[in-house]
Amino acid sequence: MIPPEVSLESIKSELTDALAYVASVNLETDVSMLSETNLRFYVTFHNRDGNKFYAEFNCADYPVHPPTIEFVNENRTERGAKHLYPNVFHPTPCICMRYNRKAHGEMGGPHGEWRLIDWQLATPNGGPIDSLAMMVSDLHIKILSATGRMG
Amino acid sequence: MMTEMLKDKEEKDKGNRNRVELQVQTPRGLWNQKLPKDAPVRPVYEKTAKIQQIIDDARTVFKFVENDNKYTLFLGEQQLEPTRTIVSYHLEDETLLVLSVQGGNA
């Protein structure tokens, strides 16, 4: 368990690059609720047709453990349903990347062979994604190519 | 003397017209004429240079050494083809490009 103030400091130090990147690719972010008691922020992605996908980054225990990245609805009352996901991810539904805590077997995800503390290692078919800004970049390009929703 | 000075200026202007000063946002920071301070190269290119050159240089500046990731340059939402030249996209001085880094997929 990482003290929340340590996680918050780490997140804030990485957000400079992440927010600059987000702005350059015309994505929207909401970090207004980020605090020691709520280590979450939100990024609104979109595909080339302009469909919006709302991602929640829950960064408890970051950076020792990766964030849990989940798609939610616009007002954040619904989460994890297929229709909230772009159709470029695992149909669990789940973003099957080491940098997503939900993908790990320890958290009930499909990848029992991964360890949470190894989240900065490469996911198959690619190299390591090791920061919040890199996660945003990876998700941005994948979601851009989505042709619609998963369900 | 005056003629030589004018000639020099003309040559300089011509050189400037053939070059472009770009900016590249990456997940590890912004690359331009001033940032990062210790950058070994700046994003100044002959207009005939290929997009791939910008990608390679940006990777060097920010130490994106992972060859298994996919590196793509964007102008807004337009994906730039690495084999095309800068002039073919009509990029002007100070244009902001974005280097996208894509990992794998399990």
- Measure A127 CA to nearest chain B CA, in Å: 5
Select the residue of A26, A124, A126 nearest B102 (Cβ to Cβ).
A126
The one-character DSSP state at A2 is -
Q: Is the dihedral of CA A68, A73, A79, A80 positive or negative?
A: negative
- ipTM comes to 0.92
Token pair of A23, please? Answer: 């702005």
CB A64 within 8 A of CB A128: no
Which of A29, A40, A33 is CA-nearest to residue A62?
A: A40
Say whether pLDDT at A115 is over 80.
yes
Q: What are the beta bridge partners of residue A130?
A: none
Q: Measured between beta carbons, which residues in chain B are less than 8 angstroms from residue A103?
A: 106
The pLDDT of residue B81 is above 90: yes
Residue A129 in 3-state DSSP?
Answer: coil
Task: Please list, in sequence order, all residues whose beta carbon lies within 8 angstroms of the beta carbon of residue A53, skipping any fewer than 6 positions away.
Answer: A44, A45, A46, A47, A71, A84, A85, A86, A143, A146
Q: Which pLDDT tens digit goes with each residue over A13-71? A: 999 999 999 999 999 999 999 999 999 999 999 999 999 999 999 999 999 999 999 99
Structure tokens of A20?
Answer: 């600059």
Q: What are the pLDDT digits (tens) for B17-53?
A: 799 999 999 999 999 999 999 999 999 999 999 999 9
CATH label, B17-102, candidates 3.40.50.1100, 3.40.50.2300, 3.30.2080.10, 3.10.20.90: 3.10.20.90
**Cα–Cα separations (whole angstroms), residue B41 to A108, B51, B94:** 46, 15, 16
Entry pTM: 0.92
DSSP 8-state code for residue B69? S
Give how far B4 is from chain A: nearest CA, Å: 44
Residue A110 pLDDT grade (very low, low, confident, very high; cuts 50, 70, 90):
very high
